[in-house]
Each structure stands twice: as structure tokens, then as C-alpha cells.
């Protein structure tokens, strides 16, 4: 009896000490948040048709709130469509749910052996939510394309570009200086001791249409200042476009920039980023230099390119062979397979097969079979880096143990009671 | 086992702290990165350091990797260039390219051995050929050719100017040669710098491609001309450049040469005299003929190549002085013609 009172007293002490958490632990709040989550999922599913998965994720899940317009084609849509409706976003609801559950954990739950199942279940759910938040913040999705018989030691992000300057004067090594998209988007003049010139950003955009115009015709306003490089020689005209969030959308990032040596202008260049990787520019003879526009400066040769954000790896992957199989008589693939050698540090290597649902995991990255072109002899891996990838598994194990504990506890109690009742008088 | 209230406090504060950290550690400040990787660039590398009293010519033509002048009170004087060749060319070929213009006639190996010497600059060996103007009495015009051979490629550094200027600038020329980085790419060099796109007519399905010098102005093409360009200088002198193609040999070499000689007011030649004007050259790894005809006021340079039963003519003609100035650009242009 004394023990029971002590436990209640512990909960009472906690409720007293963290009184400010008590309103946040309300079950009503939990229900409201779960209801709003259902609305969020419903709205985002509708919007996914219009703006694509990436657009819906960015607008509704990776934000504090999103603005939704009632679909025009629904009943009354002609009147209601104009009204912007704020919808609580994934970060807001997820964050509040974590607070709500944590508060409940502290101020409502009895920390007893008997209730350990409930505690584990809630701890698992909190871990799931926190894990998802961490995934959103830390997960990176990239691609790696390898031609058959060749190897690659870098990956490129699906989203986000960088301006890369490479000093190729030395025959053995290249010095690379990269400026990320966030800095380019801010505009202004970029100064860094890593480069012998300053970069004045004139125009930057995440997507555009570009046209090779006849030699004598006037270019569009965006590229009319360009007097060096491919933008000048191919007389490229640029039209700004909104970012295409759809799954098959192709976004050609563009940058118009001037290089300055002190106050002296070295010229104005245009650079375009190919969404499939800048090696694709080589397919177009007129635009092939977009992968490397030469700049000679103070006796050194630099190359400049706007490219998908790139990460070099301390290991490389060599593509030995590729195979793709289709269901008989159809063009529906049932297997894409890449036979690779992973060349690691210290001259170690490992041969592996990467195919659908059987990725290669190495050094915190997972390489999934993504695309393949057997005719052109290349494969593309989707590369995921998610430091919190284990969290959902641990969370599920915790919830399972919690449920098992809770139900077993009740089952044992029920069976005990039953056996006591059924004993003959 | 029940956690004591003090343990619970620590646990709670720790949990809240972790949660707060998680919330605020999501943003990462973008930074400019710098790193070194093993060389990936497969193209050629051509760099230089210019002497302080030299300037770069803005009218850099396609195959010329660099074009410079000497600054003087009277404006830019002299002309220095960097010209890479895709294939190894003989020293005699190069000497003859310039020799004819300087009144040397067709040079032989023996002639060359008297003109050429080897000069070592910073452990690099250059073939050094000095040609003085023999075509005009009293002319100070000199062509200094420095040839550097690197693996399968040949780099030519011509310095064209008056003799006193070349002598005065010799130290600068040598320090310029010493400062150059010349590295062949993994792909065969085409000495390509970004150039205006070739005319649409040049890109038709089976036609050749080429790089036009940037200062040549596009003129109206016609049904006969696949490409037409004009070169003009400040004095109003003009050159007309055209690319034409016809089935067959269009009457043969002699007929074509005589027709062109007539166009610039020169007398026709007989079959056995044709070598006065015609030399054998290579265009895109194929045999071709180069016609060099210089009259008193007019000049004509043309290349003829037969590809799959069709004759291709690349011809520039007009004012003699301007033509002589543009001759290196024309020869460089021929180096860029590609039929595959």
C-alpha cells in the first residue's frame, strides 16, 4: 500500500514540478492533432495530382503550414477556389505531436513495471516522429551514373545546383571551388580567397527554357549581357520558368555571372545545369562546352560550370556489367541488375550485384538500382544517405515489445483469474 | 525499479534538451567549398603569362588558341599567336606555309636546314625559323616561327612583325614561351575555343563542320554557296570567303586554278607550271590541295578537297595586304574543317 502511494506521489511530484506541461499533455490535443494530420494527408494527396510528389512534400509536409485552394473542379469550386486556406504543415503537426506525447509521458504516465508496455509504445511513437523529423533534416538523395567498364567516385544531388570552378593547369590534380545554390540565390558579389577573381551574380534561376538563336538575332533580356563562353557563341536566349516539382519534371538551372579581377571585368558568362548531369551536354556539339567553359587567368586555365551539387566519395564503384529483363512479350521490366566492384580505401575491393530492392550499403550510403540503359551501356543508382535510417526500426521494435508486454500482462492476469475461478470448491 | 523524482527530473530535462537541439540544429549554413581531386579534365590545356607590354587580340580565331600584339605609342604592333595542330606536321610544311608569302618559293629540306635551328627554353626544345621578307625590296617584315612538339601534337608560335620589333621583344617572346603550359588532352586536340556557331547551312546532314574566325562577318549565303563570309579592315579593304561544293571534279585542278587566277587578274598557267601555286596539304586526314595566288593588288587562297565524289572549295580572295594578314587565319580555319 505504501509502495502504491509512493508511485502516485512520484506522478504527483512530476505534475507539480512540470505544471506548465499538463495542458500540453491533453488527450483532446492529441485527437485534434491527429484529425488535422488526416486533413493534411487528404489535402496533400489531392495536391499531389497538380504539383507532383515533390511539390506536395515541400508545400505541406516540409513546412510549418501550406496554403491550399479548394479545387476548381469540385462542387462550388468556382467560388471557393479563390479563398486561400492555411493548412497546418507536417513540421508543425509533427512537432506538436512530439511535444504532446512527451508532455503526456512526463505528466500523465505512471512509471511503473505494470505500465511499462504503455510507456514503450509511446516512446516508440515519439521515436518514429523524431526519426522522421531527423530524416527530413538530414536525408540526402543523389544519383550516380556509371558507364559500363568505367568507374565513378562522385554522386550528384537530385535537387540543388552549385557553381564549380576547376583549376586544371596541373596535369595530376584539379583544385575545385564550389559555390552552393543558396549563396548564388542571394545574388550580389561573391568574394573568396579561394578564387583569383570575384563573381558578380547577375541572374540566377532554378529552371528555364533556352534557345540557340540565329547569330544576328537579339537575345532575351536575361542573357543579353553575356559576352563570353557558350552563351555568347551559341547566342543562347533564356526564358525564366518556375521550378517543375513533378516527378518527371526537368529543371535547367541557369546563372548569368560576371567575373571581376579587382574592378576590371573579365566578361560575363552564362551557365546552364543539365538536370540529368552535365555530361549530357556533350551530346550537343554546340552546347558541349557548358560542361566546362574555359577561363584563362594569370597563366592558369580554369573551367566553370553550373552543375548538380556534387559530393566526392573516398571510394569508387566500377560497373562490370548490366542486365535488364522484361516480362515476356512486354516492355515491363521485372529485373534491372548491375554487376559492380566497390573499390574501397587501402586497395580493398568487393564485388556485388545491385538489383531491384537489393541495394548496396556502404559507409552510410545506400545505392539503389534506379535507371538503366542497356543500349547505351550505363546504369544509374539512387544514392540515399540517411543517418537516422535505424530509428524507425528501433521505434517499431519498441512498440512491438510494448504491445507484447501490455497484452501478455493482461493475458496472464486473465488466465490467473480464470484458473482461480475454475478450481473446484 | 522506479525512477526517483530526481532521476526523473534529469531524464526530463535531458529529453527536452535533445528535442530543442534537434529543432534548432536542422539548418546548415551554406559555405563555399574547396577541395583537390585527381585530374578529371580530358581536354587540352593551353595557358600563358603575357609580358606587361603585350596585349591580347580580341579577334581570336577558332583554331588559334591565343593571339597577341605588342603595345606601342602608335597602337598595337606585331602579331604573336599560339596555333596547335591536331596531327604532327613537318617543319618543312610549316616553313612553306609562311615561306611563300615571304618570297622564298618552295623550300626544300636543304633550304630549311640553313634556316632552322633548335633553341632550348626552360628545358623545352623549340625549332626556331626566322624568315625575312624577300618578296619586297627594303621590307623589314619578318616571321619568326617557334615550333614545339609535344607527344603527337605540334604547337606553333608565330611572331610576325618588323625585324627591329622582333629583336627588341625577343626576351619577352622567350619569357612568354617559357610561361606557357601546353598539355595535350586525352581527346585529340582541336585547339577549340568557344566560337560563333557555324552557319546552319554548314551543318546539313552530310556536310562538313568548321570553326570560323570570330571577326569574319557572315554574308548572305546563296544556293551556290554553303557559307559566305566577309572580312574588312578600317581602310575599307575587303575579302570574300566562300564554301562551295559540286559533284565531280568540276573540270579538274588546272581549270579551277586558271579560273581563279583570271578572277584576280593573273595570267593562266600550264599544267607543268601549276606547282607554282598549288601545294599538297591535309584536311581532316584527307589529301587536299592548297592554292596560293598573290597578284599585284589581289590575292586568292583556296583549298580543294574531294570527298566521296564531290569537290569542296574553301576560298578567300580580295585585297592583297588584307589577304596576307588573314592568311594564318585561313590556314587555321582549314585545320578545323571536319567531314565526319
The count of other CB atoms within 10 Å of the CB of residue A181 is 22
CB contact under 8 A, B5 and A14: yes
Candidates A183, A292, A300; nearest CB to B47: A300
Give one word for B51, left, alpha or beta, with left for phi > 0 and alpha for psi -120 to 50. beta
Q: Do B39 and A113 touch (CB under 8 A)?
A: no
Counted across chains A and B, CB pairs separated by less than 8 A come out at 130
DSSP B338: B
Contact state of B45 with A137 under an 8 Å Cβ cutoff: no
Closest chain B residue to A16, measured at CA: B5
DSSP B240-259: EEEEEEEES-TT-HHHHHHH
DSSP at A59 = I
* Residues B33, A18: C-beta atoms closer than 8 Å: no
Answer whether B12 sits within 8 Å of A13, measured CB to CB. Answer: no
Buried b (16+ CB within 10 A) or exposed e, A149-171: eebbbebbbebbbbbbbbbbbbe
The answer to whether the CB atoms of A176 and B3 lie below 8 A apart is no
CA closest to A269 among chain B residues: B194
Q: Which of B15, B35, B183 sits opposite A102 (nearest CB)?
A: B15
Is the CB of residue B255 less than 8 Å away from at least one CB of chain A?
no
Residues of A in contact with B34 (CB under 8 A): 175-178, 194
Say what angle helices A90-107 and A27-56 make with each other, to 10 degrees: 150
Return the pLDDT at A365: 93
Look at B30 and A18 and tell me if their CB atoms are within 8 Å.
no
Cβ(A105)–Cβ(A122) below 8 Å = yes
Angle at which helices A2-17 and B5-24 pack, to 10 degrees?
40
Contacts (Cβ under 8 Å, ≥6 apart) of A328: none
Mutate to test the interface with A, among B14, B25, B32 (most CBs of A within 10 A): B32
Q: Which of A232, A403, A225, A343 is nearest to B195 (CA)?
A: A232
Provide the terminal-to-terminal Cα distance of chain A, rounded to the nearest Å. 30
Burial class (CB within 10 angstroms; exposed 0-12, middle 13-18, buried 19+) of A293: buried
Cβ distance B197 to A137 less than 8 Å, yes or no, reads: no
The residue ranges of chain A whose pLDDT is under 50 are none
Q: How far is B193 from chain A (nearest CA, A)?
A: 8
* CA A139 – CA A158 distance, rounded (Å): 12
Residue B327 to residue B304: CA distance in whole angstroms: 16
Would an 8 Å CB–CB cutoff place B21 in contact with chain A? no
The predicted structure's pLDDT at residue B15: 55
**What grid cell was written down for A48?**
499531389
Which of the residues B6, B18, B39, B230 would you substitute to probe the A interface, choosing the one with the greatest number of A C-beta atoms within 10 Å?
Answer: B39
B148: closest CA among B173, B172, B119?
B119
Q: Which residue has the cell 548569368?
A: A256
Q: Which residues of B touch A113 (CB under 8 A)?
A: 1
Name the residue in chain A with its Cα closest to that of B8. Answer: A14
User: Which residues from A are below 8 Å from B196, CB to CB?
Assistant: 215, 233, 235
Q: Could you read off the pLDDT of B186-235 as tens digits, one per residue?
A: 654 443 333 333 333 333 335 688 888 888 887 765 545 677 888 888 77
* A133 to B22: CB separation less than 8 angstroms, yes or no: yes
Residues of B in contact with A175 (CB under 8 A): 34-36
User: Does B178 lie at the interface with A, CB-CB under 8 angstroms?
Assistant: no
A178·B33 Cβ contact <8 A: yes
Which of A99, A229, A286 is closest, CB to CB, to B197? A286
Distance from CA of B139 to the nearest CA of A (A): 35
Contact status, residue A285 vs residue B197, Cβ threshold 8 Å: no
Taking the whole predicted model, whether its pTM rises above 0.90 is answered as no
**B40 and chain A: CB distance < 8 Å anywhere?**
yes
* Contact assignment for B5 to A17 by CB distance below 8 Å: yes
- Of A137, A171, A172, Cβ closest to residue B26: A137
Query: Please, what is the Cα angle at A130 between A97 and A136, to 5 degrees?
Result: 110
Task: State the DSSP code for B209.
Answer: B
Dihedral sign of CA atoms B8, B10, B14, B20 in order: positive
Kindly give the pairing relationship between strand A349-355 and strand B141-150: unpaired
Residue ranges in chain B modelled with pLDDT below 50: 1-8, 10, 24-26, 61-62, 188-205, 223
CB contact under 8 A, A172 and B38: yes
| A315 interaction partners in chain B (CB closer than 8 Å) | none
Interface test with B, best of A233, A277, A291 (most B CBs within 10 A): A233
Q: Please return the burial class of A264, using the count of CB atoms within 10 Å of its CB with bins 0-12, 13-18 and 19+.
A: exposed
Point out which residues pair with A154 in neighbouring strands.
Answer: A312
All residues of chain B having their beta carbon less than 8 Å from the beta carbon of residue A133 are 22, 26
Interface test with A, best of B7, B20, B37 (most A CBs within 10 A): B37
Residue burial B73-100, b: 16+ Cβ < 10 Å; e: rest: eeeeebbbbbbbbbeebebbebbbbbbb
Asked if A36 and A63 touch (Cβ cutoff 8 Å), the reply is: no
Asked if B313 reaches chain A (Cβ–Cβ under 8 Å), the answer is: no
Q: Which of residues 293-312 of B touch A (CB under 8 A)?
A: none
CB-CB neighbors (< 8 A) of A170 in chain B = 39
Nearest CA in chain A to B184: A171
Amino acid at each position: 500500500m505504501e509502495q502504491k502511494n509512493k508511485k502516485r506521489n512520484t506522478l504527483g511530484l512530476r505534475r507539480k514540478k512540470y505544471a506548465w506541461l499538463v495542458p500540453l499533455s491533453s488527450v483532446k490535443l492529441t485527437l485534434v492533432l491527429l484529425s488535422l494530420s488526416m486533413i493534411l494527408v487528404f489535402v496533400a494527396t489531392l495536391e499531389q495530382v497538380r504539383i507532383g510528389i515533390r511539390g506536395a512534400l515541400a508545400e505541406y509536409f516540409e513546412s510549418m503550414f501550406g496554403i491550399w485552394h479548394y479545387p476548381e473542379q469540385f462542387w462550388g469550386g468556382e467560388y471557393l477556389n479563390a479563398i486561400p486556406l492555411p493548412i497546418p504543415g507536417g513540421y508543425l503537426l509533427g512537432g506538436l505531436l512530439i511535444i504532446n506525447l512527451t508532455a503526456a509521458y512526463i505528466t500523465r504516465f505512471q512509471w511503473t513495471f505494470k505500465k511499462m508496455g504503455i510507456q514503450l509504445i509511446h516512446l516508440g511513437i515519439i521515436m518514429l516522429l523524431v526519426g522522421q523529423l531527423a530524416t527530413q533534416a538530414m536525408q540526402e538523395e543523389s544519383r550516380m551514373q556509371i558507364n559500363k567498364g568505367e568507374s565513378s567516385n562522385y554522386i550528384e544531388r537530385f535537387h540543388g545546383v552549385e557553381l564549380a570552378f576547376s583549376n586544371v593547369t596541373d596535369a595530376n590534380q584539379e583544385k575545385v571551388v564550389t559555390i552552393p545554390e543558396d549563396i548564388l540565390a542571394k545574388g550580389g558579389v561573391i568574394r573568396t580567397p579561394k578564387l583569383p577573381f570575384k563573381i558578380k551574380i547577375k541572374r540566377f534561376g532554378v529552371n528555364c527554357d533556352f534557345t540557340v538563336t540565329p547569330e544576328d538575332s537579339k537575345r532575351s533580356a536575361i542573357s543579353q549581357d553575356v559576352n563570353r563562353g557558350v552563351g555568347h557563341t551559341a547566342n543562347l536566349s533564356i526564358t525564366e520558368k518556375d521550378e517543375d516539382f513533378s516527378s518527371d519534371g526537368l529543371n535547367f538551372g541557369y546563372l548569368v555571372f560576371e567575373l571581376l579581377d579587382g574592378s576590371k571585368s573579365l566578361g560575363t558568362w552564362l551557365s546552364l545545369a543539365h538536370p540529368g548531369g552535365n555530361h549530357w551536354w556533350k551530346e550537343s556539339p554546340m552546347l558541349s562546352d557548358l560542361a566546362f567553359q574555359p577561363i584563362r587567368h594569370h597563366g592558369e586555365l580554369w573551367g566553370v560550370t553550373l552543375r548538380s551539387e556534387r559530393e566526392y566519395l573516398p571510394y569508387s564503384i566500377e560497373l562490370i556489367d548490366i542486365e535488364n529483363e522484361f516480362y515476356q512479350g512486354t516492355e515491363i521490366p521485372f529485373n534491372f541488375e548491375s554487376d559492380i566492384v566497390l573499390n574501397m580505401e587501402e586497395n580493398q575491393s568487393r564485388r556485388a550485384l545491385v538489383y531491384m530492392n537489393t541495394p548496396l550499403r556502404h559507409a552510410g550510403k545506400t545505392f539503389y538500382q534506379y535507371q538503366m540503359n542497356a543500349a547505351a551501356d550505363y546504369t544509374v543508382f539512387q544514392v540515399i544517405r540517411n543517418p537516422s535510417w535505424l530509428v524507425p526500426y528501433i521505434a517499431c521494435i519498441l512498440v512491438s515489445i510494448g504491445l507484447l508486454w501490455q497484452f501478455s500482462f493482461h493475458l496472464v492476469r486473465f488466465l490467473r483469474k480464470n484458473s482461480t475461478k475454475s478450481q473446484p470448491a | 525499479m522506479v525512477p526517483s523524482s530526481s532521476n526523473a527530473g534529469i531524464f526530463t530535462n535531458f529529453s527536452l534538451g535533445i528535442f530543442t537541439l534537434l529543432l534548432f540544429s536542422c539548418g546548415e549554413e551554406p559555405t563555399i567549398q574547396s577541395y583537390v581531386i585527381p585530374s578529371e579534365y580530358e581536354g587540352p590545356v593551353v595557358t600563358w603569362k603575357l609580358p606587361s607590354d603585350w596585349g591580347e587580340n580580341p579577334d581570336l580565331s577558332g583554331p588559334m588558341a591565343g593571339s597577341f600584339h605588342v603595345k606601342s605609342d602608335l597602337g598595337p604592333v606585331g602579331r604573336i599567336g599560339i596555333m596547335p595542330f591536331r596531327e604532327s606536321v613537318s617543319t618543312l610544311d610549316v616553313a612553306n606555309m609562311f615561306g611563300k608569302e615571304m618570297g622564298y618559293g618552295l623550300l626544300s629540306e636543304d633550304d630549311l636546314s640553313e634556316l632552322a635551328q633548335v633553341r632550348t627554353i626552360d628545358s623545352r626544345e623549340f625549332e626556331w625559323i626566322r624568315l625575312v621578307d624577300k618578296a619586297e625590296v627594303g621590307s623589314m617584315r619578318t616571321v619568326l616561327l617557334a615550333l614545339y612538339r609535344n607527344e603527337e601534337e605540334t604547337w606553333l608560335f608565330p611572331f610576325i612583325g618588323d625585324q627591329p620589333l622582333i629583336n627588341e621583344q625577343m626576351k619577352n617572346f622567350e619569357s612568354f614561351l617559357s610561361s606557357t603550359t601546353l598539355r595535350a588532352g586525352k581527346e585529340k586536340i582541336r585547339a577549340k575555343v568557344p566560337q560563333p556557331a557555324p552557319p546552319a547551312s554548314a551543318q546539313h546532314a552530310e556536310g562538313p563542320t568548321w570553326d570560323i574566325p570570330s571577326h569574319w562577318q557572315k554574308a548572305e549565303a546563296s544556293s551556290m554557296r554553303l557559307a559566305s563570309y566577309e572580312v574588312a579592315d578600317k581602310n575599307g579593304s575587303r575579302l570574300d570567303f566562300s564554301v562551295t561544293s559540286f559533284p565531280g571534279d568540276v573540270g579538274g585542278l588546272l581549270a579551277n586554278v586558271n579560273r581563279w587566277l583570271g578572277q584576280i587578274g593573273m595570267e593562266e598557267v600550264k599544267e607543268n607550271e601549276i606547282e607554282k601555286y598549288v601545294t599538297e596539304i591535309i584536311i581532316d586526314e584527307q589529301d587536299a590541295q592548297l592554292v596560293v595566288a598573290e597578284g599585284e593588288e589581289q590575292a586568292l587562297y583556296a583549298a580543294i578537297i574531294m570527298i566521296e565524289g564531290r569537290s569542296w572549295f574553301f576560298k578567300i580572295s580580295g585585297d592583297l595586304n588584307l589577304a596576307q594578314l588573314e592568311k594564318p587565319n585561313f590556314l587555321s580555319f582549314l585545320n578545323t574543317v571536319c567531314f565526319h
